[in-house]
Structure 1
Amino acid sequence: MSNIVFDLALRNVRRHFLRSVLAAIGIVIGVIAITSLGMMGANMTLSITETLSANSDIIKVTPDSGGGGGMMMGPGGGSGSGSDEDEYIDDDQLKDIMQAASPNTVIPVYSEREDISVGDREGSATIYGLAEEDVPVFLTAANGTLLKSTSSALVGPGLVERYDIKIGSRIEIGDEDSDEGTSTVRVVGILEERGMTYDISTDNAIVVSDRWFTSFFGGEGEYDEVIIKMDDITEIEEVEEAIDDSLNRRDDEVTISDASGMLDSITSSITTLTSMMTGIGAVSLLVAAVSIFNVMMMSVTERIREIGILRSIGTRRSMVRRMFLYEAFILGVVGAGIGAVLSIFIGYLVVVGMVGTTAYFFTVDSLIYVPYGMAIGIVICVLSGVYPAWKAADLDPIQALATE
């Protein structure tokens, strides 16, 4: 009897094929929206996680930005906040950091945003000043060499593309109308693309020697940040606590952080954003649910006499109820199945456009959203058919047979 009921449900879906297709389209759109957005969020999270994990051995120390007294834990478990008015880390503080972080590598960094010009192209870029011996610790040249002399410079791939820079190109840094005037450096190396990093962002920056930087900008011994390259990442918390105890004992002088805090923050933000976008996508499923409900109610109205005949020959109410739920289930399976197939292609395009890489697309964390989307679509359809099915099963057989 169960097969007969299912066959009757399938026959009715086919008999009203166009109406069924239009109802299923809403499920298709909803499944595509939820699945594609879920894939995008998963791929973005995986991409950022891998990038920042490569910087898991980095501790960053920056001047405290102020904001009142008291202890404020930095992203990596360190502290920051206070009343110190310096906007740089001085030599005395650097010595304390080096002592607390010993024997790990400590790299002081100068940075400044400045106007640049390459030929007839003008713009601005971040200029980093590093000791020449510190450059190889975390920077690699894709072309050319690392810093050779005081007037040499390394350039990130973003600037290379934007300004058509080549090895040997000369970059004029500064503004003629400013107190510093201008100075020219020669490009000796093009850096490898690093993407999102936790130490310094060099893809769209220029790296020069600390001697050139201080001779042009001044501020020798006034560092914008200090990077600590850990030999053993299991000692990160211990080193952070040592720096915090050394510099922030009386007043909060520096902010201490590492990539783990940034990773948690970014992952949380992406998850929240993806959830919000998925919620918007779920609106289409709500519209689909209304459409399915409407189709099922119309089906009940049109088939009152048929229902009466089924009931009069001994068909139980549960069978009638099951027949209409089967119809909703069939619509859900068809819509969710088509949506799942299309979502793989559309999700791929969304990931390419929003994330820029599909390296993580065919992973479990990404593709798991396909069955999730299908399940949600099918459940929505079945739930939409519950009331119409119940209404059909509760019809009085005699009154149903009397209906014209």
Structure 2
Amino acid sequence: MTLPDIDEAYLLGQLRMLLSIDSPTGYTDSVVRHVSRELERLGLTVELTRRGAIRAIHKGGVSEGARAVVAHVDTLGAQVKSIKENGRLELVPIGNWSSRFAEGARATIYAEIGNFRGTILPLKASGHTFNDEVDTLPVSWRTVELRIDQITSSKLETQALGIEIGDIVAIDPQPEFLDSGFIVSRHLDDKAGVAAMLAAIEAMERHGCGTEVDLHWLFTVAEEVGVGASSIVAPEVAALISVDNGTTAPGQNSSEFGVTVAMADQTGPFDYHLTKKLTSLCRDHGIAYQKDVFRYYRSDSAAAIVAGHDIRTALITFGVDASHGYERIHRDALVSVAQLIIAYATSPIEIKRDAQEMAGREDFTHQPVVPQGSSR
């Protein structure tokens, strides 16, 4: 089968729009509404969980043994930990990211009565005042503060603005889309994955692609805090593929080009048969790929397994340089990821018994073994 073309302009347009919508974990209603409207525009019926995780089903030949693809719409951010006597705000992070990357960030504080702009600064920000001490201040969330762009110099004045402990702080993404194909921004994890999924859906619906089983498109709202796909996976789903970022860094095999197929994360190996199928599909369709193992990483797939879902899981990624910081990706990887999603969605079902939650040993899968009696 020849894969349908990916509309790159649509993919990048969706990524721009997603990046323009603040969505730190716990403040995702607006981005959920955007993704839901777009899925409906593409012809799918959308269901939302109580907290806003999204499920849209592409109907296939049968419902049992369905496949699912998942990305997350939530991003890193911060919350107000305390209002300081100088009127500025102490913060705690939402998700796991270093205050090193928070320093200098422009941000929005979402209070109940409205929003306020500000900048995250180190406690010793001025070289004219602190001289070399600006370079020796420890890197810590306790050594940064949020300066609010309002007339306030005391705790009481900040409280009078309506800012309270626990208010969500969203970090500006500051995206740049370059002619070289590189995209530099915060929050590409995982808004780039969401854009790649939407581009795959758009191409499949535009070309009328059929699937042997139902395909569940899932978008979660709390992956950055470890919840992920713990409660959105339906009982009929047999296999789940997460779309997320791969880390291009020393000691890693990920790349900003092609697809990186994760073989394991900190929770252990991904499913042998599913990852093998994905790499085979890459070879069959000429999609550039590489494999990698992540030591300090977990995804929606891991959350689903930990929650008790007995499903096959895998993770496909677009390479990100400086993940959870000032991230950089290349649009080549996003197109490759979208192509692989379609290749998987439209490929034949090979493990028929997966349609049943429990079955006998007959037709159970095989992995390569050393024949008895042979020398190792």
TM-score normalised according to structure 1 size: 0.21
Q: Of the two, which has the highest radius of gyration?
A: 1
Richer in strand (by share): 2
TM-score normalised according to structure 2 size: 0.22
